[in-house]
Amino acid sequence: MGKYDLSKEAEETDKELSNIIVKLGALSEARITDLLPKRTDQDELARLIKAVNMATSENQKKAVLSESLGSISAVVKDVVLKLV
pLDDT per residue, tens digit, the chain (84 aa), is 568 888 888 888 889 999 999 999 899 999 999 999 999 999 999 999 999 999 999 999 999 999 999 999 999 999 998 887
Query: Residue 41: which residues within 8 A CB-CB, separation 6 or more?
Result: 73, 75, 76, 79
Residue 44 to residue 41: CA distance in whole angstroms:
5
